[in-house]
């Protein structure tokens, strides 16, 4: 039996969060983003989109397109809380969830739906949407399919508040007529190149690949088979849930706007690091490896290029300050000034703290014992003189460095 995969996508998430706080702006042209010389539109209301405004557009251009435009700087702490409410709601209703950004996730509802004893899936999904709105006031569009790719294409097909089921037999009627730029994974720079080659729709692209068109062979190379699999409904249906296992704890977040400003990215990353560490500290776990992920804002021929770098420690740890310090050192060492759209941080090689035993060699033990004897002697001398006159040389150097 095929899996039943959902892609749940919150509609105009940042704007909707602002509407919940301030109902006055409902139905008005609104953008969330910066309002300076370098300001960028992070997201916008459907009313603003009617003027040609879109995410990633410089704010000054958006203001030229709509004189009554409402610009909101954005409350990203609030958005993070609303995202958690969204995910908590979904976790209670599905078997598996894979969060892929602040406002979207994949779900595997195969077992959930089987337990409903053939209940109409449309009714189930309407209940899902209604429950989400009643609990959080957020709206979502849902794609349903046997693969993650088709589910994602489905959630984009009808917005806002759409529900689209795409079975294998539906692909020619639903997916093939779409413009090439609608293909999930084909970037804004790649779509025009394909159009210049004569491929304006996804269906034309599919048949060109199936017929071994030499131009497409040269263009996609080894990606050819993956695209064909996606468009024939044979791609991944694996919803990888961080809640299934404690092998890693991490998160990735899309920046408020594509950026190569190191200070801004570093602040954004530090907040992400602290959120991940906060989740980690709730568990009786130790970690030995940290990992940072970058996703470039520059489009490759197919999708965005990602880079992942890891660093392992000599021993397991649960020290917040140490982990944060090492995470920032890893960022400073690996960020190369490239414009990025997403950054992630993960703690890996997790073990239960009760399973970790510190194994001292005889040499370590002797050193440890000698240090204790030295400290006991220092304490005794300080008590005798009733002053902190004595300390180890290493402690003196450390104190000097702190000052």
- For the chain, what percent of residues have pLDDT higher than 90? 47
Q: Residues 305, 385: one domain? A: no
* Contacts with 277 (C-beta within 8 Å, 6 or more apart), sequence order: 320, 323, 324, 347
CATH of the domain at 192: 1.10.150
Q: Residue 282: which H helix or E strand, with range?
A: none
Greater model confidence, 401 or 2: 2
Number of domains in the chain: 4
Could you tell me if residue 152 is inside a domain?
no
Could you tell me if residue 149 is inside a domain?
no
Domain ranges, residue 225: 172-235
CA distance 260 to 265: 7
Q: Residues 217, 312: one domain? A: no
SS3 labels along 51-89: CCCCCCCEHHHHHHHCCCCEEECCCHHHHHHHHHHHHHH
Could you tell me if residue 165 is inside a domain?
no
Q: Residues 366, 323: one domain? A: no
Q: Residues 30, 70: one domain? A: yes
CA dihedral 189, 194, 198, 202 (to 10 degrees): -110
258 contacts 40 by C-beta, under 8 angstroms: yes
Structure tokens at 64: 């030229």
Lowest-confidence range among 48-57, 248-257, 291-300, 374-383? 374-383
pTM of the model: 0.66
Q: Residues 282, 325: one domain? A: yes
Q: Residues 261, 345: one domain? A: yes
Structure tokens at 179: 């413009």
CATH of the domain at 285: 3.30.1490.100
Q: Residue 104 catalytic?
A: yes
The last residue of one of the domains, among 60, 75, 90, is 75
Could you tell me if residue 129 is inside a domain?
no
Q: Residues 366, 349: one domain? A: no
Confidence of residue 367 (pLDDT cuts 50, 70, 90): very low
pLDDT over 60 (residue 259): yes
pLDDT for residue 390? 61
Over residues 127-180, the pLDDT tens digits come to: 999 999 999 999 999 999 999 999 999 999 998 899 999 999 999 999 999 999
Could you tell me if residue 121 is inside a domain?
no
Q: Residues 313, 223: one domain? A: no
Over residues 111-130, the pLDDT tens digits come to: 888 877 667 889 999 999 99
How many C-beta atoms lie closer than 10 Å to residue 272's C-beta?
20
Could you tell me if residue 98 is inside a domain?
no
pLDDT for residue 95? 79
The last residue of one of the domains, among 320, 336, 355, is 355
Q: Residues 191, 262: one domain? A: no
The single residue of 18, 47, 98, 104 carrying the catalytic annotation is 104
CATH of the domain at 30: 3.40.1170.60
**Residues 367-387, mean pLDDT to the nearest whole number:** 56
CA distance 165 to 146: 9
Could you tell me if residue 273 is inside a domain?
yes
Over residues 262-280, the pLDDT tens digits come to: 999 999 999 999 999 988 8
Could you tell me if residue 256 is inside a domain?
yes
Closest C-alpha to 143, from 116, 171, 117, 118? 171
């Amino acid at each position: 039996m095929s899996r039943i995969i959902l892609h749940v996508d919150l509609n105009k998430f940042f704007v909707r969060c602002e509407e919940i706080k301030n109902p006055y702006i409902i139905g008005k042209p609104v953008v969330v983003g910066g309002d300076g010389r370098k300001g960028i539109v992070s997201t916008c209301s459907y009313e603003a989109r009617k003027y040609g405004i879109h995410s990633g557009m410089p704010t000054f251009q958006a203001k030229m397109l709509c004189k009554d435009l409402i610009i909101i700087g954005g409350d990203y702490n609030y958005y993070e809380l609303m995202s958690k409410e969204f995910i908590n709601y979904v976790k209670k209703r599905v078997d598996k969830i894979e969060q892929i950004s602040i406002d979207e996730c994949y779900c595997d509802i195969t077992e959930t739906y089987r337990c409903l004893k053939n209940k109409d899936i449309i009714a189930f999904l309407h209940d899902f949407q209604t429950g989400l709105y009643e609990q959080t006031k957020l709206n979502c569009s849902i794609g349903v399919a046997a693969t993650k790719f088709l589910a994602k294409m489905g959630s984009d097909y009808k917005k806002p508040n759409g529900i689209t089921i795409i079975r294998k037999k539906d692909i020619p009627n639903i997916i093939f007529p779409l413009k090439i730029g609608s293909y999930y994974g084909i970037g804004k720079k790649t779509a025009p190149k394909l159009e210049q080659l004569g491929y304006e729709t996804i269906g034309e692209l599919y048949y060109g690949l199936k017929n071994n068109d030499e131009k497409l062979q040269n263009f996609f190379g080894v990606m050819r088979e993956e695209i064909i699999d996606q468009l024939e409904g044979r791609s991944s249906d694996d919803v990888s849930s961080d809640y299934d296992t404690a092998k890693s704890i991490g998160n990735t977040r899309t920046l408020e706007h594509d950026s190569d400003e190191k200070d801004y990215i570093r602040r954004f990353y530090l907040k992400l690091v602290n959120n991940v560490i906060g989740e980690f500290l709730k568990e009786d776990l130790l970690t030995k490896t940290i990992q940072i992920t970058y996703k470039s804002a520059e489009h490759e021929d197919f999708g965005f290029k990602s880079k992942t770098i890891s660093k392992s420690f000599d021993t397991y740890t649960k020290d917040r300050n140490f982990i944060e310090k090492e995470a920032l050192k890893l960022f400073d060492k690996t960020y190369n000034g490239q414009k990025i759209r997403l950054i992630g941080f993960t703690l890996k090689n997790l073990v239960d703290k009760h399973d970790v035993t510190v194994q001292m060699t005889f040499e370590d033990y002797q050193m440890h014992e000698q240090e204790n004897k030295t400290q006991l002697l220092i304490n005794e001398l300080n008590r005798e003189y009733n002053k902190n006159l004595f300390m180890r040389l290493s402690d003196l150097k450390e104190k000097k460095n702190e000052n």
